[in-house]
Amino acid sequence: MSRWLLHVDLDQFQAAVEFRRHPELRGLPVIVGGNGDPAEPRKVVTCASYPARAFGVRAGMALRSAQRKCPEAVFLPLDMAAYEKASDEVMSLLRSFPGRVEVWGWDEAFLAADTEDPEGLAQEIRAAIDRLDLTCSVGIGDNKLTAKLATGFAKSTGKSSGEPGAGPGAAAGVFRLTAANWTAVMAHRPTNALWGIGSRIAARMAELGIVTVGDLMASDRQRLAAEFGPKTGPYLWVLGRGKGDTDVTTVPRTPVGRSRSETFPTDLTDPSEIRAQVARLATEVAEEMAAAGRVATRVSVTVRTNTFYTRSKQEKLPEPSIDVARIAGTALHIIDRFELERPVRLLGVRLELVPE
C-alpha cells in the first residue's frame, strides 16, 4: 500500500453552514461578516459565497465595499458557535476513515492514508461530507505542499481532468499532484503559486531572473542561500521541486502566542482613552491565558492609525508570568513609547507564551 496525503478543504464554509439552515439562499450571493449589517462601520467580510465572489467580493473586504460591488447580496451575521459545531462534525467524520487526521482550522485538514486508490478515498470523503449537507474539495499529494496545492486546482478548475497529468480516476473536486506530474502542472506557473511564497519574496526572486516555478527548479541553491539567507534560500529551492513535510500529527497544535485586537467604530484621539483600551485588551487576553494555564514571556502592542500606518512594539517580561496586572502594566508602558500623532483606528495586544 502507498502512503498518500489528502488535503480536505470545505467549500465556502461559513456560507455553506448558513445554507444548511437557510436552503432558500442557495445559489444567491451571500456575504457573512460582522453583525450582518453592511452599513456597520469597519466590519469586514469573513466569507462570501461563490456567486458573491463572481462580483469581486473577497474575505477581508469592508462590508460597505462588498455592498457596493454586489448590491443584491444577502448579508448575514457571524455565528461562531454554528461554524465550530459544523467543523467538529466534519473532523469527527474524517477521523472515521482509516488514517491520521491533522486539523488545520475550521474548514481544512490533512489525512494521511495507506491506499492504492487515493482518488476513490477522496470521493468517499466528498460523498460523506455531502451527506452532512456540505461540500469539499480534496487534494492528493505525496506531501503536504503538493496536497495543499492540489486542492487549489480542484477548487479553481472544478474538474481535475482539466489539468495535465492529474492522475488516474480524476474527477470533479479532486486533483492529484505529485513528483510524477509536478513539472507538467507547476513549471510554467509564477513562483507565488507555491504555498509559502508571497508577492514580496516572488518580486525579489524575479530580480534574480527567477519568475516561474521552472526557473526556481533550475536555480542555484547556493545563490538562493546568499540572497535569502542560509535557511530561507534552501527552503525556497526545496519548494520549487515540490518537496514538503509528510508528517501528520493528531495532537492539536499548541499556540505559541495569543492576541486580542479591535478596530474601533470611530478613531481614538484621546490618549487616556487609548491607554484604557490597551489596558482592557491586555487584561482580556491575559485573563484568558491565565485561565488556560499558559504563561506569558513577552508583550507586544500594535497600533494602526487612520492612515493605515501600522507599527508594533514589544517588551520582554522580567520573568515569565501569569500576573494579569503585570501584563496589563507592561502593555501600558509599551503604548507610552508610541508617538501618537494621528487618530488611532486599531489597537492590538499580543502575548508570547511559554511552549507547553
Taking the C-alpha atoms of residue 313 and residue 181, their distance in angstroms, rounded to an integer, is 46
Residue 185, beta-bridge partner list: none
Active site residues: 108
- Integer CA distances (angstroms), 153 to 198, 232, 244, 351, in order: 18, 26, 18, 37
Taking the C-alpha atoms of residue 331 and residue 322, their distance in angstroms, rounded to an integer, is 14
The residue with cell 534560500 is 233
323: exposed, middle or buried (Cβ count in 10 Å: 0-12, 13-18, 19+): middle
Angle between helix 221-228 and helix 232-240 axes, rounded to 10 deg: 140
Q: Exposure pattern of 118-146 as b/e (b: 16+ CB <10 Å)?
A: bbebbbebbebbeeeebebbbbbbbbbbb
Amino acid at 273: E
Residue 14: closest CA among 90, 100, 102, 82? 82
Say which residues have a Cβ less than 8 Å from residue 37's Cβ, sequence separation at least 6. Answer: 43, 63, 75, 77
